[in-house]
Structure 1
């Protein structure tokens, strides 16, 4: 079931800013020594800092998304360094590049959709096992049958669907499309900043791969940006957990306390609650009670006059009007009260 009412542009905004910044930086050709040195170490720095951040919050899914992106970066960076230093590609460049084009979106989608539902240690071990198994089998095939593997990867299976614009192996395109649809469905079912970041990150990866050997620092920049998107999403969700009420979607009591410190001298606070809510909750059950709270919160969030709604606790809500007098706010409070009372 899709939760379209929970979709927010703010979920996508940080990742879109990072994506656009990465695109702009990738097209800058004349870089001084400082930026050249920075881009060379940036992916490693982002992995270490972002990985430590995810580990502190016990976010294995995000950690393994970062690790997956970094492994792809490391494999391709070895190839691009050789290409820049020698003016030619390594003998295994084609097979490595094609494998990354296939396995990066596959593992990115797998770890992106794999939610933490088991014990922390079991989940961590399972993810390591998958990564190790895929990596071990891939290395074994590449070492034992490089020519056969390259031929299988590069084969054009659907000639009628193949275009001259395709810079990646043909199998990569339906795989990217499948993962993109999977991540869209995941976001619509559970809209949250992480799922939005995964979508934008996949777009960045898709743009990056064909440009890997063309634009000098595309690989370094975009891999760093994708990992930053994931770390920023973890930070965004940590903020929401602290300051936003999960049930109603309104800012919570901590957010209200923060706002109170910045209101100045002139403000109005209207405290509201739901009459006979405890009796209603006991009669009809907590699930129906939660629906009532969501309904009330959705109406309070539409208060006019510059007011903002907060969930204070339980069935109590607060409306805050900055720079207003009580006489100015009464009509707006009464209007939202009538809206709730007349709901059918």
Structure 2
């Protein structure tokens, strides 16, 4: 379920709402909206992306705006059909937009600010210049090249986008979908659905009358920008409330959740047994993998529990609306599940990259058991505030460790 959520929320829902609006809204309501919608999105998106140091989003917004304006201002397009120059601009946009989204997804926001701006502006300027030169001086030949046909008719007859552009969109969609499912990051989700919105913008351009096509074009490109703006906000939220290593909600998210429980809850503090010794023996990289494994099991806790990364090797599980007695069976099942999960260590002679030729194993991989100790508490007359309940759970955790570890105490 979490993978479907990462794939469709929020970008897919925003695009669905946009499709329904464009389908059912009267044309006289759409036209005034397009006088302000693109500029608000470009301005707000640029400011948010700058504030959150997401320069890649700024350049994607610029690429969408350039594609939109280039097509709208093509003087050859008069509503009766497209000349070679406009076909070059149109098919060039369809071919080049998807690789731009893939490139900015890969490059992200690494490197110096000056370097990122230089790269982004250089990439956009080179593409715009190339398409402009082809449209102005070699339009017939370029149009023929851009509209090369090599896909079956049933796959292409429903859109004005030519075969090279369809392949470009298809490859980018597969790539960005894989990134969404693998990393579950808000910006990857935003780029994926911005890609889909861009395809919807281009799909009927040159097929339906110009006035309607221009509205569809600008509306969907602006929707792509809106999706990216929401992705920037989501990424900012994730930075503040979600732990980057384990992908669990962090301590700040726990504090907010505790304020919304209504006073009836049980909270458990979970600590990885002997983690410092484990970390010192096998290294910090292996220690991080242990934390990720434990976090994955915690994220599957039953009974309506919600897991959080509290700090270091310590986690929390919140059971809203539950008592300690109701939470205990689920916590003991969680403890046993982690104990039964065997963690395989990388052998000292094992290369980090797979060799070209397989070699016989020098020995069987070493497996170690990872266990956790758990303390749980609930509000009472003696401990009433969330901070006091967490301290009570911490004391119970201490008793679990003193009692031999790998157990649950209240």
Q: Which runs of 5+ in 2 are unaligned?
A: 343-410
CA contact (8 A) 1:65 1:112 kept: no
Show the counterpart of 1:158: 150
Show the counterpart of 1:319: 317
Post-superposition CA distance 1:12-68 (Å, at most 9, x none): 211111111222223246333x54211232112101111111111111111111111
Inter-partner Cα distance in structure 2 for 1:76 and 1:50: 22
Inter-partner Cα distance in structure 2 for 1:168 and 1:137: 19
- 103-112 or 48-57: which moved more? 103-112
- 158-167 or 254-263: which moved more? 158-167
CA contact (8 A) 2:89 2:132 kept: no
Q: Taking structure 2 as the reference length, what is the TM-score of the superposition?
A: 0.74
Tell me by how many angstroms 1:120 deviates: 1.6
Show the counterpart of 2:67: 72
Match of 1:137 among 130, 139, 148: 130
Match of 1:339 among 333, 337, 340: 337
Matches within 5 A, 1:49-64: 49-64=44-59
Q: Quick one: higher RCO (CA 8 Å, sep 6+), 1 or 2?
A: 1
Inter-partner Cα distance in structure 1 for 2:76 and 2:260: 52
Tell me by how many angstroms 1:272 deviates: 2.0
Show the counterpart of 2:186: 193
Show the counterpart of 1:100: 93
Post-superposition CA distance 1:93-149 (Å, at most 9, x none): 333323322233343333333333321211211111121122123222322233333
Inter-partner Cα distance in structure 1 for 2:338 and 2:144: 66
Matches within 5 A, 1:1-344: 7=3, 9-28=5-24, 30-32=26-28, 35-79=30-74, 83=78, 88=80, 92-154=85-147, 156-158=148-150, 164-213=157-206, 214=208, 215-216=212-213, 217-344=215-342
Inter-partner Cα distance in structure 2 for 1:229 and 1:76: 21
Aligned length: 335
Tell me by how many angstroms 1:228 deviates: 1.2
Q: Secondary structure at the match of 1:27?
A: helix
Tell me by how many angstroms 1:188 deviates: 4.6
Inter-partner Cα distance in structure 1 for 2:288 and 2:191: 30
Larger helix proportion of the pair:
1
Q: Flag the 1:326–1:174 CA change in 2: closer, same or farther, 3 A.
A: closer
Q: Tell me how large the CA RMSD over aligned residues is.
A: 2.7
Tell me by how many angstroms 1:248 deviates: 1.7
Q: Taking structure 1 as the reference length, what is the TM-score of the superposition?
A: 0.87
Inter-partner Cα distance in structure 1 for 2:171 and 2:3: 21
Post-superposition CA distance 1:168-191 (Å, at most 9, x none): 223222222232233334445533
Show the counterpart of 2:381: none
Inter-partner Cα distance in structure 1 for 2:146 and 2:299: 54
Q: Flag the 1:128–1:29 CA change in 2: closer, same or farther, 3 A.
A: same
Inter-partner Cα distance in structure 1 for 2:77 and 2:272: 68
Inter-partner Cα distance in structure 1 for 2:99 and 2:161: 15
Inter-partner Cα distance in structure 1 for 2:7 and 2:164: 30
Post-superposition CA distance 1:59-102 (Å, at most 9, x none): 1111111111111111223359974xxx5467543333233222
Inter-partner Cα distance in structure 2 for 1:279 and 1:159: 59
Q: Flag the 1:94–1:302 CA change in 2: closer, same or farther, 3 A.
A: closer
CA contact (8 A) 2:87 2:143 kept: yes
